[in-house]
Amino acid sequence: MQHTSTQDTLVGLFVASGIAGLFFLALQVSNLSSFTEQDSYIVTARFENSGGLKVKSAVSSAGVKIGQVKAISFDPKSYESVVEMSIDKRYSTLPDDTTASVYTAGLLGEQYVNLDAGGSDEYLKDGGKIDVTNSAIILEKALGQFLFKSAAEEKK
């Protein structure tokens, strides 16, 4: 057991570098550091159609990500899509007449919720509701309307 202490050092180095690798993956590579569930509050919005929105889609305002979609469900009474969003506590000063719209990032990009701040003095609270919403633009629908319109114009 002559080399015991060098062996100990090597094993120590190995374990330390393995754990450092894990930390690197957790903090540098994943989204663990950028957003945590604890420091957030929940806001719900009802959309006529939430399109391709998914759980964990981004919620952003003025182009900055401020939260993410927590749950999406269908309300069988009003036939609307109910979207629960968790928004970072740092941005707790959104007015309660904020408008929520489902946008698409780029032509083929992912869909996200955009919040446009309104002018009210009251702020949205935890569990609050956003009343004014704009649905996702469904490409097929828009194309259909466009074609229908141009056909109608030709008839005139």
Partner 1 sequence: MIEFLQNLGKNTRTSFTKLGRGTFFLLQTTSGIVSVLPRPRLLLNQMHSIGVLSFLIITISGLFVGMVLGLQGYYILSDFGAEETLGVMVAASLVRELGPVVTALLFAGRAGSALTAEIGLMKATEQLSGMEMMAVDPIKRIISPRFLAGFLSMPLLAALFSAVGIIGGQMVGSGLLGVDEGAYWSQMRANIDFQDDIVNGVIKSIVFGFVASWIALFEGYDAIPTSEGVSRATTRTVVNSAFSILGLDFILTALMFGD
Residues at the contact surface with partner 1, assessed by CB under 8 A? 7-8, 10-11, 13-15, 17-22, 24-26, 28-34, 56, 65
Dihedral angle computed from the Cα positions of residues 80, 88, 66 and 102, in that order, rounded to the nearest 10 degrees: 0
| One-letter amino acid for residue 56 of the chain | K
Min. distance of Cβ 121 from partner 1 in angstroms? 34
Min. distance of Cβ 114 from partner 1 in angstroms? 17
Comparison of 32 and 147: residue with beta carbon closer to partner 1: 32
- Distance, in Å, from the CA atom of 156 to the CA atom of 154, rounded to the nearest integer, reads 5
Comparison of 17 and 92: residue with beta carbon closer to partner 1: 17
Min. distance of Cβ 34 from partner 1 in angstroms? 6
**Residue 95 gets which letter from DSSP?**
B
Min. distance of Cβ 136 from partner 1 in angstroms? 20
Comparison of 6 and 150: residue with beta carbon closer to partner 1: 6
Strand pairing class (80-88; 128-130): unpaired
- Distance, in Å, from the CA atom of 86 to the CA atom of 37, rounded to the nearest integer, reads 8
Comparison of 90 and 155: residue with beta carbon closer to partner 1: 90
Region of residue 51 (left: phi > 0; alpha: psi -120 to 50; beta: else): left
